Structure 1
Amino acid sequence: MKKGLKIILVLFLISIVGFSVYKVIDINKFQTKDQFKEQQGKQSFQNSHPATGLNVNDETVKTFATEESTNLQEVTSKNDITVINLFASWCDPCKREMPELVKYAKNKENGVELVGLNVKDKRKPAEQLIHDVNVNYSIYVAQDDFLKKFKTYNIPTTLFVDKNGEIKKVYLGELSEKTLNNLVTQVKEEN
């Protein structure tokens, strides 16, 4: 009896997983890259993230190039809005969004700064990714406990921080240049 119940439960779980995979494939099957980018341009922030309202200024990070320690306050105090993109070289959505971030950095508004914050990564693969994409914005390396402190469990995640270091908004997921422009405008309008 117990063996039969186990088999039924396993089959039930397999069917749930199979149906879920089918639905994801079915939803995305006809979406082109251009349609994805257009949809991204219309995105807005999700519900309030637990990191919203927390302050990043006391966080010590290392510059990627020189490995010198600095506080994030050195970065945030110079800008009206600092966009901090959390990424890792092993994260496929992070890799896909980096060229979009490079485009954004070329045309960003005055008073807005984009920085990358490498998390939970190994130096060599991160260095290779930064080189391959030809990143044109500052990259820092977070301490190991950064994600836990700011209750961030998925990457890419992007923090929108004011001049005082307060996280005003958090965006979860992959960004396009269009989406990033839209989100910066929303943050400016609300502050």
Structure 2
Amino acid sequence: MKKWLKIILVLFLISLIGISVYKVLDINKFQTKEQFKEQQGKKSFQNSHPATGLNVNDETVKKFTTQKATNLKEVTSKNDITIINLFASWCDPCKREMPELVKYAKNKENGVELIGLNVKDKRKSAEQLINDVNVNYNVYIAEDDFLKKFKSYNIPTTLFVDKNGKIKKVYLGELSEKTLNNLVTQVKEEN
């Protein structure tokens, strides 16, 4: 009886190990970081973000370099799509995505504008980050209540805004250049 019990236990353990290995291999569909980035933007947006449908045009922001106040309407009205990337220098995912945003800004389509919107940050730290990455797109500073108004409690968050200032889509998390291209295509197709 003990011998049969040992055999059954060994077979059970072998089966359990086999199933575990299969599950790990099945779950790991994205074998490299590049493959993961490639797949990332193919997923559709979540349309349930509370900021979707709100309008940013009346929001006053300051140009980072000059500290001159301006309404976002001055930016959004010039473009079919304005991509507003909310970031801070203390946010590690923001730091990781900025070089990807720089690549995107070099090759962006006509009618699409990318801007950075610095939130809840110290000017000196933000300036250092912007210089270190050699940011090639316009950066603004948001008013303190911007995140609360647009229910954006996590950063990085990226808003996709139409010519009238209406937020069409919201993307939470870190972006790659390829993901950003895929998301812009989705916004265009849905409008």
Q: TM-score band, normalised by the shorter chain?
A: 0.7 to 0.9
Q: Supply the AA of the counterpart residue of 1:162.
A: D
- Where structure 2 has 5 or more consecutive residues not aligned to the other structure, the ranges are 1-26
CA distance in 2, matches of 1:177, 1:84: 14
Q: What is the match of residue 170 of structure 2?
A: 170
Q: CA deviation at 1:34?
A: 1.7
Q: Does 1:145 align with 2:145?
A: yes
- SS class of match (2:40): helix
**Are 1:86 and 1:158, in contact at CA under 8 Å, matched by a contact in 2?**
yes
CA RMSD, 1 decimal: 1.4
Q: Deviations along 1:118-169, whole A, 9 cap, x unmatched?
A: 0000001100000000000000000000000001100000000000000000
Q: CA deviation at 1:46?
A: 1.8
CA distance in 2, matches of 1:45, 1:101: 19
Q: CA deviation at 1:47?
A: 3.6
Q: CA deviation at 1:43?
A: 3.0
- SS class of match (2:140): strand
- SS class of match (1:97): helix
Q: CA deviation at 1:31?
A: 5.1
**Are 2:118 and 2:139, in contact at CA under 8 Å, matched by a contact in 1?**
yes
Q: Deviations along 1:12-45, whole A, 9 cap, x unmatched?
A: xxxxxxxxxxxxxxx88x8532233223232321
Q: CA deviation at 1:117?
A: 0.2
Describe how 1:1-191 pairs up with structure 2 within 5 A: 32-191=32-191
CA distance in 1, matches of 2:104, 2:117: 16
TM-score of the two chains, using structure 1 as the length reference = 0.82
- Where structure 1 has 5 or more consecutive residues not aligned to the other structure, the ranges are 1-26
CA distance in 2, matches of 1:163, 1:42: 24
**Identity %, equivalent residues:** 89
**Are 1:43 and 1:179, in contact at CA under 8 Å, matched by a contact in 2?**
no
CA distance in 2, matches of 1:31, 1:144: 41
CA distance in 2, matches of 1:103, 1:180: 10
Q: CA deviation at 1:190?
A: 0.8
CA distance in 2, matches of 1:146, 1:127: 20
**Are 1:44 and 1:182, in contact at CA under 8 Å, matched by a contact in 2?**
no
Counting matched residue pairs gives 164
Q: Larger Rg: 1 or 2?
A: 2
CA distance in 1, matches of 2:107, 2:124: 29
CA distance in 2, matches of 1:165, 1:42: 25
Q: Supply the AA of the counterpart residue of 2:165.
A: G
CA distance in 1, matches of 2:57, 2:163: 9
TM-score of the two chains, using structure 2 as the length reference = 0.82
